[in-house]
Amino acid sequence: MLMALTREISPSIADCQLTHLPREPIDVDRARTQHAAYEWALVDAGCTVRRLHAGPEMPDSVFIEDTAVVLDDLVLIARPGADSRRVELPAVVDALIRALSIHYRPLVAIDAPGTVDGGDVLVVGRRVFVGTSRRTNAAGIDQLRGVLRRFDYAMAVVPVQRSLHLKSAVTAVAPDTLLINREWAPADAFDGFALIDVDPGEPPAANALLVGDRILYPTAFRRTRERLEAHGVQVRTVDVSELAKAEGAVTCCSLVFEV
Ligand code: CIR
């Protein structure tokens, strides 16, 4: 069974972290409506969705992807690079332990001074790509390397430029195909994969969430969507325009895994 953990939009989302975008007013009701539609798209794709509660002390709570990475053989508890986001961890750990209780996987946590944001960890089969963004530091990457080696995953470090996370620059749209903005992540890091480039007029369009036989994908990137469909990718669009003002996209709003 496919499970998706999501998290409520905090009433304080207006105070979210911002790195590359200017602060703009966020319509919280509209963001919540969009988020609910996103959750329905996950249900449509075959997921059982469990939404965690969020309080005002965690403005970025909806971006649950940054708190953990669920792999087939283990669960990695991340340590977000932004201090304000560490308060998000305990409830996610709790929910993961409960969700995975029958299909046990070891939990491994990144420790201080290491930092890793889940948005910097792209898992494709047994290959794991880790972005060196402002949120993921060398100590975090060293810890990850040790852990992944123990579990027999191949790990590669990818420098990220001008984007918040690795997965703002590249994501998987099929088991052997990646969607990429080569200006933000170097294409030669991904040997063996077919690459689809984002449309040059849509730099933030590389973030797609692959769930089963389709991707969830922002309505905003019409031209890149045409490219994806021309390559045979089945696209289910979701409007995430309010969450985009908080520098979020589609992968960041869920943790999707088999239970
Ligand atoms: C942050 O800066 O942490 C949030 N405002 C946005 C996080 C988006 N997460 C992601 O792309 N994985």
Q: Write out pLDDT tens, residues 58-86.
A: 999 999 999 999 999 999 999 999 999 99
Per residue in 113-149, pLDDT (tens digit) is 999 999 999 999 999 999 999 999 999 999 999 999 9
Q: Ligand 1 centroid to 102 CA: how many Å?
A: 30
Q: Which residue has the tokens 């905090």?
A: 10
pLDDT band at residue 101 using 50, 70 and 90 as cut-offs:
confident
pLDDT of residue 240: 98
* Averaged pLDDT of the chain: 97
pLDDT of residue 22: 97
Of 3-17, 21-35, 100-114, which gets the smallest average pLDDT? 100-114
120 lines ligand 1 (CB under 6 A): no
Helices (H), 165-256: 166-169, 222-230, 241-244
59 lines ligand 1 (CB under 6 A): no
Checking if the pLDDT of 102 tops 80, the result is no
163 lines ligand 1 (CB under 6 A): no
Model-wide pTM > 0.75: yes
Is the N-terminal amide bond of 203 cis, ω within 30° of 0? no
pLDDT of residue 103: 75
User: CA-CA distance, 42 to 171, in Å (whole number)?
Assistant: 17
- Closest Cα to atom 7 of ligand 1: 248
Cite the beta strand spans of the chain per DSSP E: 2-7, 47-52, 68-70, 75-77, 107-109, 121-124, 127-132, 154-159, 170-174, 177-180, 194-197, 209-211, 214-218, 235-238, 255-258
User: CA-CA distance, 193 to 177, in Å (whole number)?
Assistant: 5
